[in-house]
Amino acid sequence: MDVQTTNRRPAATPVLNIGEVLALLCADFPSVTASKIRFYEEKGLITPQRTPAGYRQFREPDVERLRFVLALQRDHYLPLKVIREYLDAIDQGLTPQNLPAGVSIAPRMVSEDLAKELKSRSRRLTPEQLRTESAAGSELYETMLSYGLIELRDGTFDDHALKVAQACTALAAHGLEPRHLRPFQAAADREFGLVERAVGPVSSRKDSTSAMRAAEAAREIAELCLGLHSALVQARIAEMETS
């Protein structure tokens, strides 16, 4: 299978949205979902381009890369960590070691821009970097820490903490003060409890494949919870507009 990772692709290459990608893949991989593709992106296994509005754009090399990941999971039950190691080798222009029998791949050199993007996914931010990139003031920063919205680990923050800080900063601009943020953490904890119970039977198994499936199921359930929450809030907003 030929997996290519590059951001510099010919303009004539067809651009696909996530629904069209699913239509191409579903015949061979019936269990593939949009949530799973988004999960692979979050883990850095694929890096589709984005429109200015934030919509994902896939091209043929992206689809082939997805086929490679899905096939290794389905046919060889490999955890994402191992698949990521294979892809990292390919992105560096190397031949992956110990590929399962019958799996072939033509490695391509990753583009410089994409290499930087992949590296940024695993970066850690200092408190100063977090405050600078999120534009969070000192009071908001301390409040997020005290409420557990962001958490220092070994003196640094991850990209999730940055997203939280950016969202809290934007909410503050709409008049939501730091004291209003505590319910968000409480709601997140409650929703996580629901997700944890739902995937408990699978996550209790000790093999790596079950852990991977539990994580994927957890993310899909979490997205459904967020969708439900958004729909309920939007319904209330619609009532405001008609009242």
Whether residue 92 is found in the same domain as residue 194: no
Whether residue 78 is found in the same domain as residue 117: yes
Per-residue pLDDT tens over the stretch 119-166: 555 578 999 999 999 999 999 999 999 988 999 998 999 888 998 999
Would 11 be classed as within a structural domain?
no
Note down the domain range covering 196. 127-242
For range 86-111, the mean pLDDT = 71
Would 3 be classed as within a structural domain?
no
Whether residue 96 is found in the same domain as residue 194: no
Cα-to-chain-centroid distance, residue 135: 23
Whether residue 146 is found in the same domain as residue 202: yes
Whether residue 42 is found in the same domain as residue 69: yes
Print the SS3 string covering 49-62: EECCCCCEEECHHH
More confident residue, 41 or 11: 41
Would 212 be classed as within a structural domain?
yes
Whether residue 87 is found in the same domain as residue 147: no
What is each CA distance from 138 to 79, 129, 135, 142, in whole angstroms?
A: 41, 13, 10, 6
215-221 LR contacts (CB < 8 Å, sep 24+)? 215/39, 216/35, 216/36, 216/39, 219/35, 219/38, 219/39, 220/33, 220/35, 220/36, 220/39, 221/194, 221/195
Per-residue pLDDT tens over the stretch 180-226: 888 888 888 898 898 888 888 877 777 656 766 777 678 778 878 88
Domain of residue 22, CATH code: 1.10.1660.10
Would 8 be classed as within a structural domain?
no
pTM of the shown model = 0.51
Backbone angles phi, psi at 242, to 5 degrees: -100, -10
Would 9 be classed as within a structural domain?
no
